[in-house]
């Protein structure tokens, strides 16, 4: 199926020319790009969160395959919804779902269900695509939306993603140890040939100083590569981080794949654009490798 853009002209510019220009304004020169396993990137309207997302995507080498994990704001679809096939469209073009990788992830967890309904109107993954499309002419991806954010679900989703990426690196069926084994997509790959993107904004509608204080409690757990710590910090301090579940899953997957470091690339809030610092939304861009 073709998934048409749900928020073009609303969360980001609606025409190809204007969207290219908008995204380009958020791209920054980086002398040495990191080869990352995962990132945290915001998903608000680009006028607000674009500078943070642009800084994140500018700072890393982008592979040819992505796993996008985002929160389900609409409440539609399964508790954890994965699309296993089809194409998504933005004004900048189309991107196909990586069917073998999607099927592999789906096979590794009973909590993940094949479902397209959750994706049709949800914006959290869609707004990542224009940044990827700015840097990559062709790529494939796997979209996952999370409504169920219990700790055990988050960790299991991360495990399923990490194991599927590991299997991809070993060839179909876990083969390829000691010899090359071609898959439908490519020859043997390393974990860095797939980037896991957790889509999340930080605190919602707090005073800027309060939001920053709370957000950095969550950010610190991410920098320490502590998925369980992040989950508990969000609950303990009442941090209204909408994509904490996807972030926990991303961290769990990255740790399974051997991650050892993380770096905060940029932090900002909506008040820097709107001028209203009494009720801001926070945005953090973090790279894990």
Residue extents of the structural domains in the chain: 2-288
Structural tokens at position 54: 């642009």
> Which neighbouring-strand residues pair with 283?
268
Q: What is the dihedral of CA 271, 237, 40, 31, to 10 degrees?
A: 70
Instruction: Say if CB 9 and CB 33 are below 8 A apart.
Output: no
pTM as predicted = 0.94
Q: Provide the residue-wise pLDDT of the chain in tens; the chain has 289 residues.
A: 999 999 999 999 999 999 999 999 999 999 999 999 999 999 999 999 999 999 999 999 999 999 999 999 999 999 999 999 999 999 999 999 999 999 999 999 999 999 999 999 999 999 999 999 999 999 999 999 999 999 999 999 999 999 999 999 887 444 333 333 344 444 456 778 999 999 999 999 999 999 999 999 999 999 999 999 999 999 999 999 999 999 999 999 999 999 999 999 999 999 999 999 999 999 999 999 9
Q: Residue count of the chain, please give it.
A: 289
d(CA 51, CA 64): 23
Q: Does domain 2-288 have CATH number 3.40.830.10?
A: yes
Predicted pLDDT of residue 86: 98
174: region left, alpha or beta (phi > 0 left; psi from -120 to 50 alpha)? left
Which one-letter DSSP state was computed for residue 65? Answer: E
């Amino acid at each position: 199926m073709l998934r048409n853009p749900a928020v073009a002209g609303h969360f980001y510019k609606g025409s190809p020319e204007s969207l290219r220009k908008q995204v380009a304004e958020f791209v920054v020169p980086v002398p040495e790009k990191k080869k990352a396993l995962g990132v945290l990137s915001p998903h608000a309207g680009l006028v607000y969160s674009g500078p943070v997302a642009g800084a994140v995507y500018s700072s890393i080498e982008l592979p040819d395959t992505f796993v996008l994990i985002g929160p389900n704001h609409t409440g539609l679809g399964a508790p954890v919804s994965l699309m296993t096939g089809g194409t998504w469209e933005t004004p900048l073009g189309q991107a196909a779902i990586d069917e073998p990788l999607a099927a592999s992830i789906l096979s590794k967890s009973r909590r993940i269900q094949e479902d397209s309904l959750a994706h049709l109107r949800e914006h959290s993954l869609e707004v990542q695509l224009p940044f990827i499309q700015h840097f990559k002419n062709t790529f494939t991806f796997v979209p996952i939306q999370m409504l169920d954010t219990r700790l055990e679900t988050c960790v299991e989703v991360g495990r399923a993603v990490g194991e599927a990426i590991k299997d991809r690196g070993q060839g179909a069926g876990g083969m390829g140890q000691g010899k090359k084994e071609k898959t439908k997509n490519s020859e043997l790959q390393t974990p860095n040939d797939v980037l896991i993107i957790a889509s999340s904004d930080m605190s919602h509608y707090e005073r800027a100083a309060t939001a920053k204080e709370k957000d950095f409690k969550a950010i610190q757990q991410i920098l320490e590569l502590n998925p369980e710590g992040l989950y508990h910090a969000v609950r303990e301090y009442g941090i209204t981080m909408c994509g904490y579940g996807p972030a926990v899953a991303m961290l769990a997957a990255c740790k399974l794949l051997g991650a050892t470091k993380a770096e905060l690339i940029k932090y900002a809030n909506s008040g820097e654009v709107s001028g209203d610092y009494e009720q801001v939304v926070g945005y953090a861009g973090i790279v894990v490798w």
